[in-house]
Chain A
Amino acid sequence: MDLARAAPLEIDVEAELLAAYPALTRRLTVVLRDASEAEDVAQAAFARALEHRQRFSGGDVRAWFYTIGLRLAFNELRRRRRIHPQAAGDEPSWAMSSEPDLWIALAQLDPPQRAALLLSTLDGYTHSEIGEILGVPAGTVSSWLSRSKERLRVLLGDDGQ
């Protein structure tokens, strides 16, 4: 293996992972609804991405990183449901001081739907790209987004005025 030639590619991937780390942590915070757990999952995703970086064949590093992080988050949510079904905690002060009704309304969406909404609205991914990240067909993403927005519109009392 020619390390001198391989090194720059590795540095680029790592740099992109580091650059995407804060955004992934924020997405996970909304999906998991817990900033502390989101950091733990993001940390694990970062380590796993580094472990598998030799197998990254190019393309969108951020999307690949999101795929790993969200997969770990969904596993965590399944584990959490088994251990603490219907567990509810105090709402975080940062959410209550910024968009409290939106934060509470988002809890009514399933975690994959929350993730799809964030990836579409904040990251600008297409339905097809979100499908790749979440492992579902683009049509499913379209359906999730449509239903999520309609649900939020009702919950937020946004009648377009």
Chain B
Amino acid sequence: MMDFDERLRVRLGRLDGAIPAPRPPSVSAAALRNAAMAQALPSRKKRGRRVVILLAAALLLGASVATAQRFLFPDVPQPALEAALAEVFAQSDCITASDATDAIRARLAALGYADWEIEPRSGAADARCVTAGLVTPYHVVILFPAPGRDVLEALGGVADELMRRCLGRNDATELVSSVLTSLGVADFSVRADPWGPQGAPLDQIDAYRSHVDAGCFVYVGIQDGRNVDLWGRWP
């Protein structure tokens, strides 16, 4: 006779098997890889910024494409347009949606992409800074909130500081808040939640984990250009 654990395993397996099969990821892994490698970027930071653009497309493909349930154009790499976007965002630490729209529209026209549209996503119009991504199947350039290079660099300093010292939840939160406030960033949140190291640099993950095990909070990323994530021990 099966014990409860075994019966539960069988029933969970049955439930698991009934879940509808998901559609494959709607971003092409090969396209993402090829695009990321297409230009030899000299540093991880620059490569990271480039991939952020591609990531945006990936994130938004899910929402945009799923809503309309159709693809209008082939999802093929757009190296010329990606290079043009990279150029727009390389010119400033922080660019508003309005300025980005003007600059991108000019480059779209110059490249002969007259049918492409520029679409600000939720929160982008009022964001301090934006970045952009391509949704190639719709011929859309989306704008979405981003922290800006100055904030990213400051948060890099925060990450180092939190690894040098051992700050608890409140002190770590205050440190992040004071740094962002000093940069003139008003609309942000600090999420000192305990859900793990996601976003922490994997080549330092052991050091991060040891620091957290010692009761310290560490910086593990920023999302949506305004939500700073800290990782600390489970309360």
**A43 part of interface (Cβ distance < 8 Å):** yes
Within B1-51, which residues are at the interface with A (CB < 8 Å)? 3-5, 7-9, 11-27, 29-30, 32-33, 37, 40, 44, 47-48, 51
A67-B234 in contact given A46-B58, A98-B18 (Cβ < 8 Å): no
A121-B9 in contact given A44-B59, A74-B195, A158-B4 (Cβ < 8 Å): yes
When the two chains form their complex, are residues B197 and A97 in contact, meaning their CB atoms are under 8 A apart? no
How many pairs, one residue from A and one from B, have CB atoms within 8 Å of each other in the complex?
A: 150
When the two chains form their complex, are residues B194 and A136 in contact, meaning their CB atoms are under 8 A apart? yes
Contact check: which of A22, A48, A72, A136 meets B22 at CB < 8 Å?
Answer: A22
| Chain B residues, Cβ within 8 Å of A56 | 202
Contact check: which of A1, A3, A30 meets B15 at CB < 8 Å?
Answer: A30
Number of interface residues of A (CB under 8 A): 61
Cα separation A99 to B17 with both chains bound (whole Å): 10
Which A residue's beta carbon lies closest to that of B212? A135
Number of interface residues of B (CB under 8 A): 57
Which A residue's beta carbon lies closest to that of B44? A54
- State the A residues within 8 Å of B (CB): 1, 3, 10-11, 14, 17-18, 21-22, 25-26, 29-30, 35-36, 38-40, 42-44, 46-48, 50-52, 54-57, 67-68, 70-72, 74-75, 78, 94-95, 97-99, 102-103, 117-118, 121-122, 133-137, 140, 149, 152-153, 158, 160
| Other A-B pairs, 7, CB within 8 Å; known A75-B193, A121-B8 | A25-B19, A44-B59, A103-B15, A121-B12, A134-B195, A152-B8, A160-B4
30 A–B pairs (Cβ distance < 8 Å), ordered by A? A3-B37, A10-B33, A18-B25, A21-B22, A21-B25, A26-B16, A30-B19, A40-B63, A43-B62, A47-B25, A47-B55, A51-B51, A51-B54, A52-B202, A54-B47, A57-B205, A67-B197, A67-B198, A74-B193, A74-B195, A95-B18, A98-B14, A99-B11, A118-B12, A134-B195, A135-B195, A135-B231, A137-B234, A149-B8, A158-B4
8 nearest A-B pairs in the assembled complex, by CB-CB distance? A135-B196, A47-B58, A98-B18, A43-B62, A25-B22, A55-B202, A71-B198, A99-B15
- State the B residues within 8 Å of A (CB): 3-5, 7-9, 11-27, 29-30, 32-33, 37, 40, 44, 47-48, 51-52, 54-55, 58-59, 61-63, 66, 191, 193-199, 201-203, 205, 223, 231, 234
